[in-house]
Structures are given as C-alpha cells and as structure tokens.
C-alpha cells in the first residue's frame, strides 16, 4: 500500500527543450504546466533551463554542455531535484543521474507521484501503485535511491520508496498481484454499473483543473473535493440528477493532461469505464486558460485512446468570469491581432460556430448561464431517454403542481 507522507517544500530545477516540433512559446507553456505540477507535488521551482535542439539527445536528453551548466547551478544552490518535461528513457535517466548526482524525475514520474499523493480510496491507490510498478520496472537501477541526502519527497512516494532495491522479479510478482486485485474490483464495479439499469449516463470529462467537480457540485448539490491544484479528483463520483422531470446519472472523474502516462490510462481502466459507458459527455473547458485549445486536443486524444471519441458531446466553456482578452492600444501599430485578442463573442464566431449549438459558455463559480446549461443537458438527455423508454412519454408532460 502506498505510504502517505507529509513532505517539506523541495527546491527543484526544470529542464525543457525547444525543437522543430516544439517552438519556444510551446516549450514555455509546457514548462508553466510542469511548474504547476511541481507545485502540486510539493516542489518550488528555482530555475528553468531550456535548450534549443534538433532532437532530444538520445544519451542525456539535453546536450552535455547544457547538462554541465545545470550541474554547476544545482551544486551552487544545493538543489536536490531536477525535473525533465518529457518521458526519459531508462538509459537517459541513468546517464543524467550519473552526471547530476541528484534525484532526476521526468514528467511521467511526477504525474504518477501526484496521483500517489492524491489517491484516497484503496481502489485508486491500487491503480496508482500498479502504474508506478510498471513505470519502475525498466528503471530499477536508480542511483538516487542510494543517496543519503534525499529521503522521501517528490518521486519517492509509493512503492518506489520501499521496493526499489529489490529485484525485478519481486516487482513483476507485485504487478501480477495488483492486476488480480484490480480484476476483482473491476468485476464488482461492472456489476454495480449494470445495476444502475437503463438510466441515462452523463460523464464530465476535461483537462485537469477546468472546474468539473465545481460544476458537479453546483448541479447535483453534492460535495466533491475541488481545489486549485492539478488532479484534485482521482476517484469517481456518481450522482443522480433530476432536471425538470428526467432523472439521469452524472459522473465526475479524473481530469486529463497532456501526455497522460499510458501506464495510468491502463491502470485506471475501471475509472475510465465510467466515461466509456456514458451516453453523453460534457467536455468541460477552462476558457480563461491561454492554451485551452491545446487542452481540448489532449482530451480528444485520450478520448480516442479509450474508444470514446464518437459519443455525443456538449462542449462546456467554463470560467467565463475569469476570461480576459489582451487589448491592442490604439497607438500600437505593430502588434498583430491574434487569438489572444479575441473576446468571447469573437470566439463564438470561430470553429465553435460549427458545433451546431453544442457548446455553451458558463461560470460554475458564479453560477452564470447555468439555467441555459441545464436546458441544453436536458434536451440531450431527453433524446437518449426517449430511445430507451419509448412508451414512457408521460415523463415529458410539463405540469405545474396545484397548490
């Protein structure tokens, strides 16, 4: 079982690259996100290193000169952790550790660590533990586990802490055991889902931190943990919601992120089954985030990966209260107008217009436009409900209660 530990804030450096596929602006955006992830995991970023490269170096990810630069910085400032914004191969990880002689993590490792920290139920913890073991298996010979200086902290929570020095066989046995355990739970969950009968099922999906749980709370009057950190929700909550006269089930589940580790997608099978078996998806987007279009793409990629890309979807653009477009001053003749200058009205005229009204702008926090949102959900749910209960049409009679 994963151990829970209160850890002190650790000083961390971040390392990213600019390549042909990833321009400087993108690299900076990704590092911003990596910094938020680091903060969620309990780290404070003291410096970022970015290098321009044709391709990542197969031996050390960044060039050896750059690595030396990182080395002198971490030695001077006594930094204990370096985090790379990509998945490092086991060989890269080993080589980098040899040079830097501190704890080296990659994006995958960091996300797994946050999941380990946040998993509440034994079910979620088993899923995370499995993903961690699978990540760990090819990377067992890690230098930093032998170092005295770093005990606990980011990247060391979970099985990594205790099992790392044991051999691969033990990890393999453990993987088999965890898989068995999950299979049993998966079966129970599948039965539970079956018992819910033919009721229409709606799932909230979206990038992490967009406001899914907040929206769930305001429309179902439930109390799901919401917080301004990444991956506040790992477990699935299902609530019965009634709009007008149709009841349906609403699911809030784990948020997605760019490059969600595949180990996690596999181990969170049952959690994601809630999405896979949903009749309607509410794709929640944080429109106040500069990269919201990228976020939509990442979510759609993961939906495709779990074979849920062809479900009916309502796009829910949340956080309109926090949306701010950049303004070009009248005497500024140089700045080119781009998407950052769009108002919400401008956005409505873009590709969103082609969605045939399947999108809506709301603020879950200020509860604005929620009535319209509920109407739209009602219309969609009603369509599905009617195919499932064709003779049950008395449900749709609008009636006012006599006093």
Ligand X SMILES: Nc1nc2c(ncn2[C@@H]2O[C@H](COP(=O)(O)OP(=O)(O)OP(=O)(O)O)[C@@H](O)[C@H]2O)c(=O)[nH]1
Residue in 360, 293, 277, 273 with CA at minimum distance from that of residue 320: 360
Which of 117, 233, 271, 308 forms a contact with ligand X (CB under 6 A)? 233
Binding to ligand X (CB under 6 A) within 165-194 occurs at none
Residue 172 DSSP one-character state: H
- 287 touches ligand X by CB under 6 A: no
**Which C-beta is closer to Mg ion: that of 212 or that of 319?**
212
- 227 touches ligand X by CB under 6 A: yes
Nearest distance from C-beta of residue 322 to Mg ion, angstroms: 17
Interface segment toward ligand X; rule CB under 6 A; list 45-53, 109-117, 186-194, 357-365: 357-365
Contact letters (x/-) for ligand X, 358-387, by CB under 6 A?
A: -----xxx----------------------
Which of 213, 253, 318, 369 forms a contact with Mg ion (CB under 5 A)? 213
The secondary structure of 83-107 as a DSSP string is EESSPPPHHHHHHHHHHH-SEEEEH
Interface segment toward ligand X; rule CB under 6 A; list 13-21, 160-168, 314-322, 344-352: 314-322
Which of 51, 127, 134, 214 forms a contact with ligand X (CB under 6 A)? 214
Q: Site for ligand X (CB under 6 A): how many residues? A: 23
Backbone angles phi, psi at 186, to 5 degrees: -55, -40
Strands 246-252 and 237-243 turn out to be: antiparallel
Nearest distance from C-beta of residue 290 to Mg ion, angstroms: 21
**DSSP reduced 3-state for 353:** helix
Distance (Å, whole) CA 401 – CA 403 = 6
Nearest distance from C-beta of residue 150 to Mg ion, angstroms: 31
Q: Which residues contact 274 (CB under 8 A, 6 or more apart)?
A: 193, 201, 203, 236, 238, 251, 253
Token reading at 280 = 């309607």
**Which C-beta is closer to ligand X: that of 57 or that of 235?**
235
With b for 16 or more beta-carbon neighbours within 10 A and e for fewer, the 177-210 pattern comes to ebbebbeebeeebeeebeeeeebbbbbbbbbbbb
**Which C-beta is closer to ligand X: that of 100 or that of 287?**
287
Question: Which neighbouring-strand residues pair with 201?
Answer: 249
- 237 touches ligand X by CB under 6 A: no
Residue 53 DSSP one-character state: -
Q: Site for Mg ion (CB under 5 A): how many residues? A: 4
Q: Given the rule CB under 6 A, which residues bind ligand X? A: 206, 208-214, 226-228, 230-233, 255, 318-319, 321-322, 363-365
Q: Given the rule CB under 5 A, which residues bind Mg ion? A: 212-213, 232-233
């Amino acid at each position: 079982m994963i151990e829970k530990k209160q850890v002190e804030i650790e000083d961390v450096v971040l390392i990213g690259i600019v390549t042909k596929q990833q321009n400087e602006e993108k690299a900076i955006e990704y590092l911003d996100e990596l910094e938020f992830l680091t903060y969620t995991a309990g780290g404070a970023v003291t410096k970022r290193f970015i290098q321009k490269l044709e391709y990542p170096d197969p031996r050390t990810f960044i060039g050896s000169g750059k690595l030396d630069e990182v080395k002198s910085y971490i030695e001077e400032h006594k930094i204990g952790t370096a985090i790379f914004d990509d998945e490092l191969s086991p060989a890269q990880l080993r080589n980098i550790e040899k040079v830097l002689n501190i704890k080296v993590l990659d994006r995958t490792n960091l996300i797994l660590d946050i999941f380990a920290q946040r998993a509440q139920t034994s079910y979620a913890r088993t899923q995370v533990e499995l993903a961690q073991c699978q990540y760990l298996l090819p990377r067992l010979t890690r230098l930093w586990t032998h170092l005295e200086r770093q005990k606990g902290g980011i990247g060391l929570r979970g099985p990594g802490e205790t099992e790392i020095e044991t051999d691969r066989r033990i990890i393999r046995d453990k993987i088999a055991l965890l898989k068995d355990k999950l299979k049993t739970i998966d079966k129970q969950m599948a039965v539970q889902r079956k018992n819910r009968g033919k009721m229409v099922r709606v799932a909230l999906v979206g990038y992490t931190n967009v406001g899914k749980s907040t929206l769930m709370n305001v429309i179902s009057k439930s109390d799901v943990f919401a917080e301004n950190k990444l991956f506040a929700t790992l477990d699935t909550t299902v609530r019965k919601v009634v709009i007008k006269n149709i009841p349906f089930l609403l699911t809030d589940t784990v948020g997605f992120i760019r490059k969600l580790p595949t180990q996690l997608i596999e181990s969170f099978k049952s959690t994601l089954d809630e999405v896979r078996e949903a009749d309607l998806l509410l794709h929640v987007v944080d429109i106040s985030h500069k990269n919201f279009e990228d976020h939509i793409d990442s979510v759609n990629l993961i939906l495709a990966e779990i074979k849920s890309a062809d479900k009916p979807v309502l796009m829910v653009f949340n956080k309109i209260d926090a949306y701010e477009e950049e303004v070009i001053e009248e005497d500024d003749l140089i700045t080119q107008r781009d998407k950052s200058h769009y108002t919400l009205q401008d956005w409505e005229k873009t590709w969103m217009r082609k969605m045939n009204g399947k999108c809506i702008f709301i603020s879950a926090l200020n509860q604005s436009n929620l009535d319209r949102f509920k109407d739209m959900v009602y219309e969609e749910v009603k369509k599905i409900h009617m195919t499932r209960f064709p003779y049950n049409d008395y449900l749709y009679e609008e009636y006012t209660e006599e006093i």
